[in-house]
Structure 1
């Protein structure tokens, strides 16, 4: 499932427990700085084989999940 994979990526990048990460959690709430966010975006791109052109538009975990699901639909 996309959400579980993204949760794992965030957990690995930030070194935090997955139970603090929900679909409605924003990256700001997680205390992600611009470098951390960039690393998360790169990892999502690599794990799912997608290209995130407008990363600034993704502010919550649910937006990241929705983006990946739309880009990988039919793959």
Structure 2
């Protein structure tokens, strides 16, 4: 698995969950500003990420997941992926 795989997986999930066109999803996408995700939406997204990538995301870490790119970087770091 690469960072690109992680990115594509999350982008596909966001497109489906928030009824967005896949091509409109960019790395700088801000979960709170760009897709108007409320706290319940965000919790659901975090739970989906935990299940999909078989990781645990603490509440403290979840608060730092603001953009798609920093979420990809966070998951890659948790999985030990550098490329």
CA contact (8 A) 1:9 1:44 kept: no
Once the two structures are superposed, residues 16-45 of structure 1 have per-residue CA deviations (whole angstroms, 9 ceiling, x without a partner) of: 111121111100211111111111110011
Moved over 3 A (4+): none
Which stretches in structure 2 are left out of the alignment for 5+ residues? Answer: none
Q: Residue 37 of structure 1 corresponds to which residue in structure 2? A: 42
Matching of residues 21-60 of structure 1 within 5 Å: 21-28=25-32, 29-53=34-58, 54-60=61-67
Corresponding position: 1:65 with 2:72: yes
Q: 1:11: Cα distance to partner?
A: 1.4
**CA–CA distance in 2 between the matches of 1:73 and 1:63?**
15
Asked if the contact 1:8/1:18 (under 8 Å) is kept, the reply is: yes
Q: How many corresponding residue pairs?
A: 74
TM-score computed with the length of structure 1 as normaliser: 0.90
